[in-house]
Amino acid sequence: MKKNVVILFALIIIPFFLFSEEIYFYRAGKKIVLEENYRSYSFVADAVTKVLTAIPEGVDIKKRERNTALVGRLNKDQKTALSRSGRVFPAYRIGKLDYYVNDKLFVKIPGSPLEKEAEKWCRENGLELVKRYKYIPEWYLVSYNGNTIKKAAELVENKIVEQAEPSFFIPLEHRTMIPDDPFFFNQWHLHNFGGHELTGTDHAHVANAWSLLKAYNGSMGKGTRLAIIDDGFDLDHEDLVGRFVAGWDFSDNNDQPRPGPRDAHGTACAGIAGASVDNGIGVAGACPECDLIPIRMNMGFGSTLDQIAIESFSWAADNNAHIISNSWGPPDNRGPMDMSQPLKDLVFNLVTTGRNGKGILIFFAAGNGNESIDEGSGSHDGFAGNPNVFAIGSTNASGKRSSYSDFGFSLDFVAPSNDVESGSGGDGWAGGSYIDGIWTTDNTNGGYNPGQLAGDPSGKYVSEFGGTSASAPLAAGITGLVLAANPDLTRDDVYGIYKATSDKVSRGNVNPGENDYDENGFSTHYGWGRLNACEAVKMAIEMKGVDITNIVCGESDHNFGNDDPEPEPEPDTDVELPDRDGDADTDTDKDKVIDDEPSLKKKDGGCSCSFINI
């Protein structure tokens, strides 16, 4: 009897292994194997008009885009019904993430032919040309009436093309928690006055940088174009009016990238990067005279990340973006996820040839899972971990790494953000309470405040924003100031400036389990250190050949090296600083310091570049 059971088991199981099909594609020559997950499916309808009418009652529709719908678990009858009007595919899993196919794939057509030849090539290979990409002209988006994963593998294995890979729907996640500015004095990340129940006195010296830049050329970021790709923007917010230039909505395909019903993230990020300053209301942005380019990219479940990200980045480049800020990426604690090869190629092209050859600077939030972003780790983040982007982690008001902030050799720099008190749990967000919150703009209606996050009584601002989602637009805004000081800087120049000027916060006193800075000044948990906006702007000016060695960026407006100083005279309102041509500029209208504005003093006055007149 036992023998018969074994034989029966073998007859059932062995054919399963013999005939089960391995599903895979190739990315840059590497075989990527996927596992089928029958808990959810993608339905690719034969026509756009059929995508809803063909779906039987009772089917859970998670997302719909053109002729593709992502649905929940299906029974046999539902699958049969859907198959009459299109194709049904299970979700395909890599690690803990589900990928969903549609009818599109990316191919590198040999010889990079023009449109007519590309169309002919596609027809000969059972494909239909959809488009060719401007900034990655060797890549084409094509459609296929079948399984795009198998087709991509077939094209490569038969040496028809060098590279091909499916265009997937994949989940995206904001790089902030959903915890939840008259408020400048609460914005400790710009200048830390202490108090407000903060954990320390660290900050990014942004107000100091304003003083220096205003004295140098009278601006606070003027002329710099900063694109923010996110879930939508309150274009009419009182503290963002006049800050936005033309943008685009890749969710609704129009020029009004406004937020949807649950989209408040983009407005918060925009406020950190570039809210108005000195206007008597609200908060201040790091680069308050930068032109903000708002680009809405669907952040919900099942976003067609590769296609829409390529379109968003290309639109930013077409509209002369100097900087692109991204506070989004793969879900935390869900396993590794890489960029598609076309998106990798696009990022490389933009950072090497964009901005008239100087390179567009692309920032990504590192992530909030307290995990490594490095390739080869079980939590590889191919977006923040891409070698051509600036991966930005978070530090709190004491200069310690925020408990949730992702880390690794791919981490570049850190910038201030909030934190979660100890005992919060594995992913850095769960449980605990939020500390060192970031004040920023909120949707005038339907935002975080009230309901999700604390903020001002009007509901136009939030006080508990955070995560690496806050650090990335802060770093991007600081970069706007740096480029305003010296527009000739290349992408690599800016990286070198940050590497040389960032503060080694918590050196010798890092949190338990973290790696301290090595002999080269790098830490896998702090990168090259916490950005110092004032020192970075100063170095950018010096790289123009302007001698400003008499200027010191510092913490205090007290005398140095004198235990019993004489009473300090009223500060000079005329700050002598070489202008762009290297000549001293003593224009009192331009450089006069007024109350509630950062003050800049000369080194021989015993004082530093700091914010005074509190």
Read off the pLDDT of residues 125-153 as tens digits, 9 standing for 90 and up.
Answer: 999 999 999 889 999 999 999 899 999 99
Q: Dihedral through CA 435, CA 428, CA 411, CA 95, nearest 10?
A: -160
User: For the chain, what is the mean pLDDT?
Assistant: 82
In a domain, 463, yes or no: yes
Mean pLDDT of 358-386: 95
Instruction: Indicate whether 156 and 300 sit together in one domain.
Output: no
The dihedral of CA 345, 347, 349, 351: what is its sign? Answer: negative
Mean pLDDT of 346-368: 97
In a domain, 559, yes or no: no
Residues near 184 by beta carbon (within 8 Å), at least 6 away in sequence? 190, 277, 283, 284
What are the strands of the beta sheet with 413-416, ordered from one edge?
A: 248-249, 291-296, 225-230, 323-326, 361-365, 390-395, 413-416
In a domain, 115, yes or no: no
Supply the pLDDT for residue 307.
Answer: 85
Instruction: Indicate whether 88 and 190 sit together in one domain.
Output: no
Supply the pLDDT for residue 65.
Answer: 74
Backbone angles phi, psi at 274, to 5 degrees: -155, 30
The CATH number given to whatever domain includes residue 195 is 3.40.50.200
Instruction: Indicate whether 96 and 225 sit together in one domain.
Output: no
Supply the pLDDT for residue 46.
Answer: 81
Supply the pLDDT for residue 299.
Answer: 63
Mean pLDDT of 436-458: 89
Under a CB-based contact definition with an 8 Å cutoff, are residues 272 and 284 in contact? no
In a domain, 234, yes or no: yes
Is the pLDDT reported for residue 421 higher than 60? yes
Instruction: Indicate whether 365 and 476 sit together in one domain.
Output: yes
In a domain, 562, yes or no: no
Instruction: Indicate whether 84 and 233 sit together in one domain.
Output: no
List beta partners, residue 416: 395
Which candidate, 357, 331, 314, 136, places its Cα nearest to that of 227? Answer: 314
* Structure-block tokens of residue 374: 């490095």
Instruction: Indicate whether 212 and 90 sit together in one domain.
Output: no
Q: Looking at 510, 539, 568, which one is the last position of a domain?
A: 539
Q: What is residue 231's three-state secondary structure?
A: coil
Supply the pLDDT for residue 432.
Answer: 58
pTM of the model: 0.79
Supply the pLDDT for residue 20.
Answer: 58
Can you tell me the distance from the alpha carbon of 603 to that of 547, in angstroms, rounded to the nearest whole number? 13
Supply the pLDDT for residue 280.
Answer: 87
In a domain, 76, yes or no: yes
Which candidate, 597, 606, 530, places its Cα nearest to that of 212? Answer: 597
Supply the pLDDT for residue 17.
Answer: 41
Instruction: Indicate whether 161 and 188 sit together in one domain.
Output: no
Supply the pLDDT for residue 572.
Answer: 34
Which candidate, 295, 326, 275, 264, places its Cα nearest to that of 473? Answer: 326
Q: Looking at 511, 539, 567, which one is the last position of a domain?
A: 539
Lowest mean pLDDT among 7-11, 236-240, 400-404, 420-424: 7-11
In a domain, 10, yes or no: no
Under a CB-based contact definition with an 8 Å cutoff, are residues 471 and 390 in contact? no
- C-alpha dist (Å) from residue 187 to 163, 343, 398: 48, 35, 14
Question: Please, what is the angle between helix 533-542 and helix 206-217, to 10°?
Answer: 30
Is the pLDDT reported for residue 559 higher than 90? no
State pLDDT tens for residues 159-210.
Answer: 999 999 998 877 665 543 332 237 888 999 999 988 768 999 999 999 999 9
Supply the pLDDT for residue 334.
Answer: 86
In a domain, 427, yes or no: yes
State pLDDT tens for residues 10-50.
Answer: 444 444 444 457 889 999 899 999 999 998 998 888 875 56
Is the pLDDT reported for residue 602 higher than 70? no
**What's the pLDDT band for 550 if we cut at 50, 70, 90?**
confident
Q: Looking at 539, 569, 588, which one is the last position of a domain?
A: 539
State pLDDT tens for residues 375-388.
Answer: 999 899 999 999 99
Question: Percent of the chain scored above 70 by pLDDT?
Answer: 81
Q: In which element (H, E) is residue 530 found?
A: none
Instruction: Indicate whether 52 and 200 sit together in one domain.
Output: no
Q: In which element (H, E) is residue 252 found?
A: none
Instruction: Indicate whether 450 and 362 sit together in one domain.
Output: yes
Is the pLDDT reported for residue 593 higher than 70? no
Supply the pLDDT for residue 61.
Answer: 81
Instruction: Indicate whether 423 and 311 sit together in one domain.
Output: yes
Instruction: Indicate whether 93 and 185 sit together in one domain.
Output: no
Amino acid at position 219, single letter: S
Is the pLDDT reported for residue 601 higher than 90? no
Is the pLDDT reported for residue 558 higher than 80? no
Structural domains of the chain, count: 2
Amino acid at position 249, single letter: D
Residues near 388 by beta carbon (within 8 Å), at least 6 away in sequence? 347, 348, 351, 352, 362
Supply the pLDDT for residue 372.
Answer: 96
Supply the pLDDT for residue 117.
Answer: 95
State pLDDT tens for residues 94-127.
Answer: 877 788 888 899 999 999 999 999 999 999 999 9
Is the pLDDT reported for residue 520 higher than 90? yes
What is the set of active-site residues? 230, 265, 469
Supply the pLDDT for residue 261.
Answer: 84
Can you tell me the distance from the alpha carbon of 430 to that of 285, in angstroms, rounded to the nearest whole number? 29
Q: Before 450, cis peptide (omega within 30)?
A: yes
Per the structure, the complete domain to which residue 34 belongs is given by 20-106+145-169
Mean pLDDT of 244-253: 93
Instruction: Indicate whether 192 and 205 sit together in one domain.
Output: yes
- Of residues 343 and 561, more confidence is placed in 343
